[in-house]
Chains A and B, each alone.
Chain A
Amino acid sequence: MQRISQLASHLTKTHPKTFLRNFTSKMASNNSNIHLYTVGTPNGIKVSILLEELGLPYKVTPISFSKNEQKEPWFLEINPNGRIPALTDTLPDGTPINLFESGSIMQYLVDRYDTEHKVSYPRGSKEGYEVNNWLHWQMGGLGPMQGQANHFFRYAPEKIQYGIDRYQNETRRLYSVMERQLEKGDYLVGDRATIADFACWGWVAAHHWAGVSLDEFPKLEAWLHRLLERPGVEKGRHVPSPHTAFDMKNKSEEELEKEAEKSKAWVQAGMKADAKK
């Protein structure tokens, strides 16, 4: 009963921490009503970067991992997978749409709103398929593998050297694949920054947290900074909270360990909860 009333209150009221972005700029047409549920992680900032790049007005609700909000019934209504990001919007005919998986959210947004193809290519074009190729590579490879490196290097309850090595090496290998691609041009596909670049950006920016250095990857490092110069990337990376990935390099291992403690608590609690089911 309590759950139901909680859910109802969330559907009727706005979350107390919800805030607005870009509402002063020209309103997007066609019933647009974008609402992003997010945290300032590599997967979360993909979407805010894209929204800023496109200059779209949107509502943001920051989710609190330490309160396990991503597993609350009202959030699971939007994303049964209990992970951020998630996005809701209204279609031109008034029907609501809910989406999860950062990659599919990005594709939805460019399909609908990037009609001038500033950060995408037309659907069905060769470059369009190639962007999809790299997007899937990020979603199925770079994200999960660097995520596992973070896990074994920063969050795991016991230190397992093999786990650390395995996923740091795989992350390094994946970086080298990007490095080779960037030897051919400034962006992953063609002549412009696309959602494939934005999808990878937050992960590469967080390399130090995973314990991987960019020293061997000069093209990748140049790409990282090339993108950072874009106003959209700069704004979007700080949603919903300041982006701290670059500060990590200046911290001592002790300070980093302290940082990790905060995440350790909720990550390990989540693992325990899943183990009981």
Chain B
Amino acid sequence: MMNEKHVISMLVDNEPGVLSRVAGLFSGRGYNIESLCVAETIDPDVSRITLVTRADPPILEQIEKQLNKLINVNKLRDLSGPESVQREMAMICVQARANNRAEILRIVDIFRCKVVDVGIEHYIIEVTGDEGKLMALINLLKPMGIKKIARTGVIALKREPG
């Protein structure tokens, strides 16, 4: 069966050690993590962890059960489908010399992203979107020379109030 990508979102107690419980579970049981995002929610006692993993259905079932079993994990959901909004942000430092500066700006414009830093030989571009958009942008910028990149990993919310 296919190892499908899954976005798992969970509310956890905002206390030290919780992240290592989650990460340790993945490394100890040989599950994979593609990306992982953690930050406080509006309740300072609660953090949200969003992680992306690839697994076949039985392993995914185990991952979700094992995460739920952690005492500090409160509520867990799979936010992979179209009923959820998924976004990721990246900052891309691209080589920008006279010959391609204009081209880069045009791409930035088309993708509705922003140049957040300008140097004699580089731009840093900030982009937000789903994975498809990020990959499309990265592919277009590659020929110009991407010097470095930082990605946040996916965060997601269900399309519903509360």
The answer on A and B forming one complex is: no
